[in-house]
Amino acid sequence: MNKTLIALATLAMLGASFNSWAQPANETATSTTSTAPDAALAKRIDDAFITLFPLYEMGRARFNAAAHPMNPTPSPPNGTPVNRRTLIDHTARDVTTPNNDTLYSATWLDLHNTPVRVTVPKVDAKRYWSVAFLDAYTNNFSIQGRQNLGNGPLNVVLVGPNWKGKLPTGAVLKSPTNDVQLVGRFLVNGAEDAPTVHRIQDGIRIEPLIANAKPLPQWVMPRTSNDPENFLAVVNEMLARNPPDSQLSKQLLAWADLGVGGDAQTFARLPKSTQAAWQARMPNLHEQLKTGLQYGAKLVNGWSVPSPRVGQFADDYMLRATVAFGGLSALASTEAVYLNLESDPTGKPLDGGTAWQLHVPPIEAKAFWSLSMYEKTADGRLFFAANPLNRYSIGDRTPGLQRNADGSVTLLLQHEAPSQTSNWLPTPKGPYAITLRAYLPSEAMREGKAALPLLQAIQ
């Protein structure tokens, strides 16, 4: 599976307008020392880094969205969400593996000094929608939407873990952390349907219950997680803002001599041998993260099926770290799964030079499913490709899609236009990959036990 299997449009929402200057998390790491650290020390540093890397990524995403001095359109916490208004097409290159199904609304909540009310207006019947609340450790601690609220509306108050004040009556969600990422997703059925979704987005309200409460400033600028000094400074600030649970707290105490849990200057005060060990381990650690969502995934009929623990990681710290690297803000698999196909039945990489049929059985998804076609660049990134139909994905909502008697669909995958285009998913000329998205999937779908699309030679 490509490391960018789920480069969520969430990231586009939070950072596409300033991607040109925001430091990428997955830049190539370089070592400043050739001395290998003691094996026991190296193991402890590895454990600390893998456990805490998601905190760094959330700190980076929050800072870039809300506080970076070069961000021309900052989005203050507890303020109006940033709304993506248009579907991505083949001209976009700011986000890899883009989504052509939903529009997004995203912001950050700061619960240090006030509870915050979140309201979303009623959504028209059958439209998929969700509002995910992620804690600072990247877990989806609550997903509100079609699955539990039907058409809505949503009216909920979020409180921080230490809030002791009086609350209004009604629905209350207690967040495990004071910093919360909010990501709303709303199904859109083509450009003509976008204005309806815009009205929903415009009706979203974020209201601090204490009107004059100020969000807690974020002081440390995340530059790159390849620099252990910056890594520890950002992580330590995030730990201070979002104290861990009791289990993780015990682990952090054992890493105090590695610089975990101190202040922004902790790294400079570490012994030179410990500093050198951090420097030496960074390249290897970042290389491990490049597995992305492939970590814990299994191969089913050529499709890479991610671990069902994505989005709600419990104590699977490596999975949590790799997803933070390759798909920050991923939904829990109970809400959506994303499967990737990059090879044909013989194991060769998919390429537009060969035409295929794709037999799609009834997909076990209560909300909707889609198959997105991506051209693959030399560095492995995935983007939509230009085609005569401007069709970048095909799915259960595609107008004119011809179905078989048993409810299955037979798609034609080729570069040149066929005589009948209703079931044509155009491929680029060269290498490509396909992503299957299934929203509100069955348990069998989540576990890779459901029937999946099958590539077949053209008869």
Q: Give this prediction's pTM.
A: 0.90
In this structure, of 2-11, 35-44, 218-227, the range with the lowest mean pLDDT score is: 2-11
State residue 253 phi and psi, 5-degree precision: -60, -35
Task: Give the per-residue pLDDT at 77.
Answer: 97
- Quote the DSSP letter at residue 250: H
Among 32, 18, 47, residue whose Cα is nearest residue 280: 32
Cβ–Cβ under 8 Å, residues 434 and 374: yes
What does the block give as tokens for 86?
């248009």
- Parallel, antiparallel, or unpaired for β 298-300 and 365-376? unpaired
Q: Average model confidence (pLDDT) for the chain?
A: 90
Count other C-beta atoms under 10 Å from residue 401's C-beta: 14
Q: Is the pLDDT of residue 263 over 90?
A: no
Q: Is the pLDDT of residue 29 over 60?
A: no
Rounded mean pLDDT of 270-289?
A: 96
Cβ–Cβ under 8 Å, residues 312 and 139: yes
pLDDT single digits (tens) 221-261: 999 999 999 999 999 999 999 999 888 999 999 999 999 99
Q: Is the pLDDT of residue 378 over 90?
A: no
Phi-psi region of 113 (alpha: psi -120 to 50; beta: other; left: phi over 0): alpha
- Quote the DSSP letter at residue 192: G
Q: Is the pLDDT of residue 350 over 50?
A: yes
Q: Is the pLDDT of residue 127 over 90?
A: yes
- 228-241 and 39-66 helices, crossing angle to 10°: 70
Distances (CA, A) of 304 to 36, 61, 328: 35, 27, 18
- Label residues 155-182 b or e (16+ Cβ within 10 Å = b): ebbbbbeebeeeeeeeeebebbbbbbbb
Boundaries of every domain in the chain: 27-73+218-289, 304-456
Q: Reply yes or no on domain 304-456 having CATH 3.40.1160.10.
A: no
Cβ–Cβ under 8 Å, residues 438 and 361: no
Sign of CA dihedral 308, 311, 313, 317: positive
In this prediction, residue 35 has a pLDDT band, given cuts at 50, 70 and 90, of: low
Give Cβ neighbours of residue 384 (< 8 Å, ≥ 6 apart). Answer: 88, 89, 90, 92, 98, 100, 372, 373, 374, 375, 392
Cβ–Cβ under 8 Å, residues 446 and 333: yes
DSSP state letters, 350-371: PBTTS-EEEEEPPP-EEEEEEE
- Parallel, antiparallel, or unpaired for β 116-120 and 205-208? antiparallel
Count other C-beta atoms under 10 Å from residue 375's C-beta: 19
Q: Is the pLDDT of residue 376 over 90?
A: yes
**Dist CA 173 CA 442 (whole Å):** 26
pLDDT single digits (tens) 167-196: 888 999 999 999 999 999 999 998 899 999
In this prediction, residue 49 has a pLDDT band, given cuts at 50, 70 and 90, of: very high
Task: Give the per-residue pLDDT at 95.
Answer: 74
Angle (CA) 249-251-256 rounded to 5° is 90
Rounded mean pLDDT of 16-38?
A: 46
